[in-house]
Each structure stands twice: as structure tokens, then as C-alpha cells.
Structure 1
Amino acid sequence: MQNSSFNFKKTAFAVFALGCLSFTTAVAQDVPKPPKMEPAMTEFWEPEVKAITPVTGTTAPSDAIVLFDGKNLDQWVSVNDPAKPAGWTVNKGVFTVKKGTGNIQTKQAFQDYQLHIEWQIPEKINGKGQGRGNSGLFLASTGRGDDGYELQILDSYNNRTYANGQAASIYKQTPPLVNATRKPGEWNVYDIVFTAPRFKENGTLFSPARVTVMHNGIIVQNNTELKGPTVYIGLPQYKVHGKAPIKLQDHGDPSEPISYRNIWIREL
């Protein structure tokens, strides 16, 4: 009886397996074969990429917002009193820090952007370390004074200071990969891509700010993660903010004045 039962089970299983195989074969025969891939299958034409006029010399791209065109500071205001115009000096196509007038910032607020800015340390300059042509570019101004994310501006040509405080550093956070500073009297160029931080509804950080910086055509910050707004003493901590102005610093050093020209921005 045991052998008969065993043989019956084997026969039933074989019939079942054969049925499944036949069903699978029939289903496989009914499934259409995918079409042969052609180049056009991975090409899309819409939306069409917008055409712009590229950078030519000192001319900004056609989709840029010009923040300084060499004529006036109409796009800037005083940080101490945003109802008042920026008090720095405009002369011969450049503007210069006017010591004691305070920081200035853009009238418009920005989030993610590409920024071009040129700056010059005076040819005849005294001082050393941090006291030699000190200013700062705040990528997002999160309050009065020196609140925000500072990209350092300083004469770092044969001028030693702490690495995370020299030109093109994220001040007190990240040194530049190399020192590409030109000597005093020559113009330095920053080309910057800034991605603002994002925050959750409860105010906690969702994603940190990041920045890529080219200094005189050389990458010196490569998608660098910012640890928070700049602080002179202590460790940075993020605080919730949205779009923010861009700020330039009146550092108050006797080694100023520092000059700027050809500033434009593209929102991303």
C-alpha cells in the first residue's frame, strides 16, 4: 500500500508539473516581443532648451540680472537700514568700500544661483594676515551685521594667514583647494554656484547649503557642504531662512578700500 501511494503521488506531481510547463509555454508564446531599440526612442525634443547670449568679455549673459553695471548701486541698499541706498563710492566703472558706512546687500533676495563678481585689492597696501584687504561676500545674508555664509575676500598673495580664513575660503569652515590669488592691483574673479539649504516644516535641516567656487578660473571649492552660517567664535549652526539677499562686507580695516566691478547673477 505504501509503494502504491508513493507511485500515485509521483504520477500526480508529474502531471501537475507538465501542466504548469504547458501553461508557461503558452503564456510565453502569447507575450509580444519588445520592439527593437532605435536611436529616436531615447531622444526628446520638448521642452526646447532656451537659447541665451553667452558671456563675452565684461558683458553678462542675456538671462542674467546685472547687479552692478559700472554706473550706480541702484541694486544695493544699506544693511543697517535697507530703506537707505548703499553708501559706497562709485567711480570709473567700479565701486569701492567706504569705510564706516557698513555692509551693503542686494535689494532682491535669491535662493539657488550662479554669481559672477570681480574684486581688487589696492596696489599699495599695508598690513598682514587678516588686516590686509579684508572684506567678504555673504552668499546669503541671514540677518544684520555679518550674519550669513561668508566667502572670504582678502589679499592672499604672499600673505600667510589661517587656511580657513584666506581668500576663497568658506570663512572659518573650509579652506580653498589652492591659492589662486592675483597680486594687489590686479583683478580677481569669483564664479560661484550656490545651492541654498532646505528645511523641514518643523524647522530642522533637510539639506545643507552647498557651493562651488572658481577663483580666477580655478576650482577652489568643489560642491563644498556648508556647516551653517559663518560665526567668528564657536561652531556654526543652521537657522531657518528662505530666499536671502547677497551681502558685501565693510570690514573696517585701515587696509581698505577694496573695489568691485562686473557683478551679475543667474537664478537656477
Structure 2
Amino acid sequence: MRSAWGVVFAALGLAVGVTGGCIQRQVEEADGAGVDAAQEQPQNVLTPEERTAGWRLLFDGVTTAGWRGYQKDHAPAGWTVEDGLLTRVASAGDLITEEKFSDFELVAEWKVGAGGNSGIFYRGSEDEEWLYHTAPEFQVLDDAGHPDGQSPLTSAGSDYGLYAAPRGVVHAAGEWNSARILVVGNRVEHWLNGRKTAEYMLGSEDWAHRVRESKFAQWPRYGTMEIGHIGLQDHGDRVWYRNIKIRVIG
């Protein structure tokens, strides 16, 4: 794993700017009064500026192409596409990308129903019984309606169970939120609705201490993958995703 993350992260600011501000506008629209306007814009498409900057769609708005169930060779029926939204409608297990990613910038928009719980996994392996045994998680949650929302360590935008998210960032159940995950070498950032909610270094002393004090201590491969799948968690609740885009770094 690489250590020259400072230079790379500085360069990322320029790279995001090259997109013509499209990603940032989506974040701003999802962070307040612009939500309705954002819904009127074309969804699950790339602008010419995004294409030039290297962005790709992970969800085409029509099919589950590029996705499959965890430890399966197909996308389970419980994950389906409705009105351009990738949604969990029945028990299906976690959904993962067919492709693996190492260093990347990922953006997505999500919403949950009342009390809803899901998550976005990254650098996950299929070698364990469950995806969360290896993959860190960007928590997707209705903070106000789910017990996990009572703790910053397990609230929306947190690195689930390890790094707390600030209060008052997530929108209410049924409203759209924007997620951004940046992974370069060992360095990870979580952003929710335009605000950084978690930042950490995989493998650092601080990270290792937190893992030892958490439930993840029983899974020695947790957070150790240098490349792996992106995953969407089936936690038994309705969740909707759209505009899932990724830019591979390096």
C-alpha cells in the first residue's frame, strides 16, 4: 500500500475541477433546496466533462448489468430496477460489482425508508462468509428512525463501527442524500451531502486499535484488501440508489 497519498489527494482536487463542477453541483443539489431540481435533471448519465475526466457509470438506470449477488454468479431478484432506481425490494443478500477496484473516487445518491438501513462497501473480498468481514462500510441509514443512529460510530456517513460521523448531516427518511467515497492507497475519506464525515488510514496504529476494540477483531482480513468489490448492503430494508459513478485513480 502506498504512502504518497498527500500528493495524490492534492491532485484529486484538480481532477474533480476538470469535470466542470458537475459532481459538485450534484452534491449541492442533494444538500438542501436543490433536491427537487436535481430530480428533474437526467439521472444515471455522464456529462461530456465527466467522461473526459474518467468517470464511469456503475449503474445504467435500466438493468443490473455489472452487478451480481455476493458469492453468486447473477443479480438476485430482490435487487431490481424501478423508475431508474436500483432498489432492494426483497431478501437478496448483498449486491457487488463484478469488477474489482483499488484506488478510486465513488459518488452515489441514496435514500431509505423510515428506519431504513443499508451501506456501501468497498475493497471487499468473497473469501469470507459475509462481505462485511473484509470490506469497510459507508453507513447508509435513517438516523432518526433506526437505533444505530443513536451512536455517531454507526450513523449515516460513518466508517461503520470505527470512525464516527458528525450529527445533522443526513437528510430525513425518504429524501435523497449524496455519498462520496475516496480511496487512495491506505487513505480513505467519506463525504455525505457535501461534508466530510470520516477520514482514516487503513493499517495505521489508530485504525488497528479501533479494529481490536470492535466486532471486526474476529475477522483478521477485515480492511486488509488492496483491491476488491464495491458492494450495496441488504440489511432487510428498502433502499434506493441512483447516479452511481466511479473514477479509477492511477
Distance change (3 Å), C-alpha of 1:210 and 1:237:
farther
- Structure-to-structure mapping, 1:232-251, within 5 angstroms: 233=215, 235=217, 237-238=220-221, 240-251=224-235
* Partner AA of 2:119 in structure 1: G
> Which aligned runs of 4 or more in structure 1 are off by greater than 4 angstroms?
49-53, 228-232, 236-240
For the residues of structure 2 that align with 1:230 and 1:120, how far apart are their CA atoms? 28
Tell me how far 1:234 sits from its aligned partner. 5.1
- TM (norm. structure 1) is 0.65
What percentage of residue pairs aligned between the two structures are identical?
Answer: 27
Question: RCO (CA 8 Å, sep 6+): is it higher in 1 or 2?
Answer: 2
2:168 is equivalent to residue 186 of structure 1 = no
- Segments of 5+ residues of structure 2 without an aligned counterpart are 1-13, 27-42
- Structure-to-structure mapping, 1:219-238, within 5 angstroms: 219-221=196-198, 223-226=199-202, 227=207, 233=215, 235=217, 237-238=220-221
Tell me how far 1:168 sits from its aligned partner. 0.8
* Partner AA of 1:181 in structure 2: V
Q: Which residue of 1 aligns with 2:245?
A: 264
Q: Which residue of 2 aligns with 1:68?
A: 59
Partner of 2:153, secondary structure, is helix
Distance change (3 Å), C-alpha of 1:96 and 1:230:
farther
Maintained 8 Å contact 1:70/1:93: yes
Moved more, 110-119 or 56-65: 56-65
Partner of 2:178, secondary structure, is strand
Q: Which residue of 2 aligns with 1:156?
A: 143
Tell me how far 1:230 sits from its aligned partner. 7.5
For the residues of structure 1 that align with 2:226 and 2:138, how far apart are their CA atoms? 19
The answer to which structure has the higher helix fraction is 2
- TM (norm. structure 2) is 0.69
Maintained 8 Å contact 2:107/2:180: yes
2:125 is equivalent to residue 142 of structure 1 = yes
Maintained 8 Å contact 1:167/1:179: no
Give aligned pairs, total: 195
Tell me how far 1:152 sits from its aligned partner. 0.9
For the residues of structure 1 that align with 2:246 and 2:211, how far apart are their CA atoms? 22
The answer to which structure has the higher strand fraction is 2
| Deviations 1:159-190 (CA, angstroms, capped at 9, x unpaired) | 64222111111111010134301011110101
- Segments of 5+ residues of structure 1 without an aligned counterpart are 1-48, 126-131, 197-208
For the residues of structure 2 that align with 1:158 and 1:214, how far apart are their CA atoms? 21
Maintained 8 Å contact 2:123/2:225: no
Q: Which residue of 2 aligns with 1:16?
A: none
For the residues of structure 2 that align with 1:195 and 1:115, how far apart are their CA atoms? 11
| Deviations 1:72-103 (CA, angstroms, capped at 9, x unpaired) | 1101011031x222430101010111332111
Larger Rg: 1
Partner of 1:192, secondary structure, is strand
Q: Which residue of 1 aligns with 2:11?
A: none
For the residues of structure 1 that align with 2:107 and 2:211, how far apart are their CA atoms? 21
2:148 is equivalent to residue 165 of structure 1 = no
Maintained 8 Å contact 1:95/1:259: yes
* Partner AA of 1:250 in structure 2: D
Tell me how far 1:238 sits from its aligned partner. 4.6
| Deviations 1:200-225 (CA, angstroms, capped at 9, x unpaired) | xxxxxxxxx3211221111212x322
Of 63, 74, 78, 1:84 maps to: 74
For the residues of structure 1 that align with 2:19 and 2:153, how far apart are their CA atoms? 36
